[in-house]
Amino acid sequence: MTDNQSESGRLPWYEDEQFWKVFAPYLFDDYHWDIADLEAKQSAALLRLTVPAAVLDTCCGVGRHSLALAGQGYTVTGVDRTSAYIEAAKGSASAHNYPIEFVQTDMRSFSRPAAFDGAINLFTSFGYFEDEKDELVFLGNIRDSLKPGAGLVIDLLGKEVLARTFRERDWHEEDGAMILQERRILGSWSKIENRWIVIKDGEKNEYVFSHRLYSADELIQLVLKAGFGRAEAFGSLTGVPYNHTSERLVVTAWK
């Protein structure tokens, strides 16, 4: 079992390559591949981008949105710290003959001053770090990498949404595997702890990890603290208002 940090104290959970390999088939299933093109179009619209604008895809994973954006004509750079994901993304880009640049590094270490017309951070890929100062470094590097007037889109599960839909546990079967998810709220709703168990072909993989939760106002205040000039919250990538019926929290932040 892997907790937030391995027993030897080596790695935080988000740096554990094995975690991402085990759960890749379920994080990036057919459904999530199918909606990537629409999500890319919606993100580009929120950022008011036109082809061939330069887009930074942060925490790009296996490159779902990078590939979609490149297919729509954008110039794309994808960044992720998981080497297996970057290699998979490179293979997909090569198969499609898309000239996407994929960089294997931590976003806390990536910055290209004024290089991009827009940036995206989708699929709850924010709030992983133990110290919120690291979240500010993450956001600051994105801000520095944007051209003046350019924007960032963050898409995650907002605290208000989770409070309405919270379930302590659920399970389902997928691709011949049984997947169990258990959750508990920590620190007065500042974090959520997740316990994921996958049982397939007689093998059990279990991981416990936690990440930060943000309300719309908390996330807006954080991006402003990171140096963005203005920010706004929406209830989805379509740009609808963020309210009691929203299923996602989407924040746009402008340099």
Domain membership flag for residue 61? yes
Mean of all residue pLDDT scores within the chain: 95
Q: What is the pLDDT of residue 5?
A: 40
Q: Which domain holds residue 178?
A: 161-210
Local structure of 115: helix, strand or coil: coil
Split into its structural domains, the chain has a count of 2
Q: SS3 sequence, 44-101?
A: HHHCCCCCCCEEEEECCCCCHHHHHHHHCCCEEEEEECCHHHHHHHHHHHHHHCCCCE
Pairing of strands 54-58, 75-80: parallel
Of 143, 154, 151, 156, which Cα lies nearest the Cα of 48? 151
| Residue 8 pLDDT class (50, 70, 90 cuts) | very low
What is the pTM for the complete model shown? 0.95
| Residue 110 pLDDT class (50, 70, 90 cuts) | very high
Q: Do 134 and 200 reside in the same domain of the chain? A: no
Q: Do 23 and 125 reside in the same domain of the chain? A: yes
Q: Do 132 and 71 reside in the same domain of the chain? A: yes
| pLDDT (mean) for 46-71 | 99
Q: Do 20 and 76 reside in the same domain of the chain? A: yes
135-153 pLDDT, tens per residue?
999 999 999 999 999 999 9
Domain membership flag for residue 1? no
CATH number at residue 147: 3.40.50.150
Pairing of strands 191-200, 177-186: antiparallel
Q: What is the pLDDT of residue 11?
A: 85
CATH number at residue 193: 3.10.450
Q: Do 221 and 102 reside in the same domain of the chain? A: yes
Q: What is the pLDDT of residue 175?
A: 86
Q: Do 137 and 178 reside in the same domain of the chain? A: no
| Residue 4 pLDDT class (50, 70, 90 cuts) | very low
Please check whether residue 95 is in contact with residue 123, taking contact to mean a CB–CB distance below 8 angstroms.
no
